[in-house]
Structure 1
Amino acid sequence: MAGVEKSLQDPNHGELPDLRNSKGHGFHCYKHDGVYFFVLPPQMLKGAHPADRIKSVKKAQLKDDDIIICAYPKCGTHWLWEVIEMLISGTLQHQKDVKETRMFEFIGKDGMEALPPRRVFNTHLPLRMLPKQVVEKKIKCIQIMRNPKDACVSFFNHCKNIPKPLGYEGDFAEFAEAFLTGKIPFGSYSTYLQTWKDEVAAAPELPTLDMYYEDMKMDPATSVKKVARFLGLASSDKFCEDVADACSFTKMKKVDQEMKSGLPMKMWEDGSGGTFYRKGEIGDWKNWFTVAQSERFDQLWNKKMKDSGFEFTYTPV
C-alpha cells in the first residue's frame, strides 16, 4: 500500500523502520515522535531502548542562564558553540571537548543535569522534544540555518566517514534523494525548519535568535556581535572581532584535528580523515550536484518551503 512505511527486525531493538533504498543503502534508525534517529552503539545505550535517552530530555531540569543552540545537522552548530563559549568566558580559549558532550541526544537527562553552569547546550531536536523548562523558564535559544544544498553535501560527507552501522554506503545521488524525502537521521530539513517555526510561534515569549551560516561566513564579526547582544553580554567590539578571528574555519579545523576529545563513541572510519570541519564553503554544492539533480532539488525544496519565509544564500556574495 502506498505511503505505508516498511520495517525490518533488529535483533536488539525489535521492529525498526526500513530506510533502505532499492540498492539496499540506508540508515540504521529508530523512529520517535515522527523523527528518525541513529541507533547508538550498545556501549552508550547500556541495555536501554534507543528512544529512552531522547524521552529523558523532556524531563531535564534547566538553569535560568542555560543557552541552547538548535540546528539541523551540519548547519554550523560546532562553530556557533565555540563562539558562544568564548563570549561567555571572555577568553579566546577553544573548547577541548566536542559539542556532542553538550548535546541533548547524546547525553540525555542525567548527562545534562551533571554539567556545571554556565551551560551551552546544543541539539538537532525539534522544540517539542526539548525540556519542558525551555518554555517555562524562557531559556535563550539560537537557531542556526544553512542553505539546504550545502547542508546536504556536508551531511553526506559526514555520514560516509562514520563506521558501520551508522555510516552511509550509498553514493551522493542516493543520499540527496534520502535528504529530500526525509529518510535520514533527524528527518527532512524542510520539515525541521517548518516545525521549528510553528513550535516557536506557539511559544511567543520564548527568546530566540535566528542565525544563518552564510552570514557568519561572510561577516563573522557582525554575527558574533549579534550573538553577544542577544545573550546580554557586555562584549566589546574588539573582543567580538577577536572571537570571530579565533573561530575562523581554518583555525577551527586545526583545533578539531589537534586537540578535540571527549567523544563517547568512535566517530570516524579508520583512514577516512574524518573531521567535523571539511570545507565550510558557501556554494560547494556546485561540485556535487549535476544540473538535473540541482533542478530536481530546487523543485521539491521550493514546493515544500513555499511561503515559509526562510531565505538562503547559495553562492558567495
Structure 2
Amino acid sequence: MAADHPSVETPIIHNLRNSKGHGFECVVFDGLYMPPALMKTEPPEETLESIRDIELHDDDVIICAFPKCGTHWVWEVVEMLRGGVIEYRKQVKETQEFEIIFKKGIDALPSPRTLNTHLYLRMLPKQVVEKKIKCIQIMRNPKDACVSFFNQCRDTLAPAGFEGDLAEFTEIFLSGQMFFGSYSDYLLAWKAELDRSPGQPVLKLFYEDMKHDPVKTVKDIARFLGLAATDQFCEEVANACSFKKMRQADKELKEEFDIIKFWKEGAIGYYRKGEVGDWKNWYTVAESENFDRIWNEKMKDSGITFKYSL
C-alpha cells in the first residue's frame, strides 16, 4: 500500500473504486488507508498524528481489532466488569475510539477509560508501549469478518457505502483497497509490532472462542485486568452481553452519536447475526477455496490460525 502521505494543506484523496465504479475514497496515513469522512475539522494527517501524543492513564484499557471482529462486544463486557454492575452504557463505543474522537476527545474523557481502535500499534499513543498499557486484541476468522464488513458497507450511506456485490467486496477486502487496508496486513503488522515491544501486556482473544465459551472469555478478561469478579458475576456479564441482548440494548438504550450517522434507512446496523460460519451462506465452494488460496499465501508464516465453524 505504498503511497505518498497527504499534505496538510490539500489532503490527497485516493480513488480506490474498481472498473465498475464500486469501492472507496481514502486518505493515506502512515501507509494505511483511512476514511476521510471521519476527519472533518482538521487536515487528516495532522488529526491522526495527534493520536500519538495522547497522554495515557495507567488504568486505561485499549481494545484493538480490525472492523467487524467483536469490538462492540468486548467493549461492553469490559465496561460491565470494570463498573461492577450489569448495566449497559448509554454511550456507544465510538465515544471512546481513537480514530473518531482523536486527541481532543480522548483527553476530555474521565478515568477509567476503555478505549478502542482499528489502528495499528505504531499509530497509537507512544505511551501504550512506554507505560505498558493493557491491550485486548480480538481476532475473527477472515471469511466471517469479510461477509460482516460487506453487509455493513452495503447498509451504509456514501461515502462509506458500497454498491457492489460480495465478489467485488471480497477482492477489495483481500487486496486492502479500502479503509483500514487488508485484514491480513493488520494481523501481520500487529504481530511484528508486538514482537518489537517485549513485555507489552496483551490479551489475545478469538471471536470463535468467545462464542463457544463466553463465560470463560469474561473470566479471562477479568483476570487480565486484575478484577476480583466472582464466577456468578462473570456468568451474568456473559449473559447480558449475548448477541441478542446487546442488539436489543443497541436499539433501546444507546444514545445517538452524530459523528457516525451513516446508516441507510431501514439498515440493520452493527448487530446483524454475530454467528460463526455464516460465511457458508454467502460463498460457493469455489469462492471459498479461492479465498483460502489468497489468504493462506499471505498468512503462511504468521502462525495465526482460525476456526471457521463451531
Establish whether TM, by shorter chain, passes 0.5: yes
Distance 2:17 2:260 in 1: 23
Q: CA RMSD in A?
A: 1.9
- Corresponding residue of 1:214: 208
Inter-CA distance 13–260: structure 2 relative to 1 (3 Å threshold): farther
Cα deviation, residue 5, structure 1: 6.9
8 Å Cα contact 1:53-1:107 kept in structure 2: no
Structure-2 residue corresponding to 1:33: 30
Q: Determine the C-alpha separation between the residues in 2 that align with 1:55 and 1:272.
A: 36
Which structure 2 residues correspond to residues 157-176 of structure 1 after superposition, within 5 A? Answer: 157-176=151-170
Q: Which amino acid aligns with 1:28?
A: E
Q: Stretches of 4+ moved more than 2 A in 1?
A: 3-6, 12-15, 50-53, 264-274
CA distance in 2, matches of 1:248, 1:299: 33
Which one of the candidate residues 103, 127, 130 is aligned to 1:109? 103
Q: Distance in 1 between matches of 2:198 and 2:238?
A: 30
TM-score (norm 1): 0.93
Report Cα offsets for 1:80-122 as digits up to 9, x if no partner: 0000000000001001111111100001011011000000000
Please name the residue that 2:14 is paired with: 17
Q: Are residues 296 and 206 of structure 1, via their aligned partners in 2, closer, same or farther at CA, if it must alter by over 3 Å?
A: same
Mapped pair 1:231 → 2:261: no
**Structure 1 letter corresponding to 2:122:** R
1:260-285 residue CA offsets vs partner (Å, 9 max, x unmatched): 12423253434232311100010000
CA–CA distance in structure 2, aligned partners of residues 23 and 5 of structure 1 = 23
Aligned partner of 2:297 in structure 1 is 303
1:90-239 equivalences under 5 Å are: 90-239=84-233
1:311 Cα deviation from its structure 2 partner: 1.5
Counterpart amino acid of residue 292 in structure 1 = A
2:156–2:264 Cα contact (<8 Å) kept: no
User: Which consecutive unaligned segments of at least 5 residues does structure 2 have?
Assistant: none
**Corresponding residue SS for 2:221:** helix
Equivalent position SS for 2:12: strand
Contact 1:268-1:274 within 8 A present in 2 as well: no
SS at match of 1:265: helix
Secondary structure at the aligned position of 2:33 is classed as: strand
CA distance in 2, matches of 1:202, 1:173: 36
Paired residues, what number? Answer: 308
Question: Does structure 1 conserve the Cα–Cα contact (< 8 Å) formed by 2:66 and 2:118?
Answer: yes
The CA deviation string for residues 146-178 of structure 1, in whole angstroms up to 9 with x for no partner, is: 000000001111111111112111111100000
Q: Deviations over 1:218-239 (max 9, x none)?
A: 1000000000000010101110
Structure 1: which 5+ runs fail to align?
none
**What CA distance in whole angstroms lies between the structure 1 residues aligned with 2:285 and 2:75?**
35
> What's the CA shift for 1:180?
0.5
C-alpha distance in 2, partners of 1:286/1:244? Answer: 26
SS at match of 2:13: strand
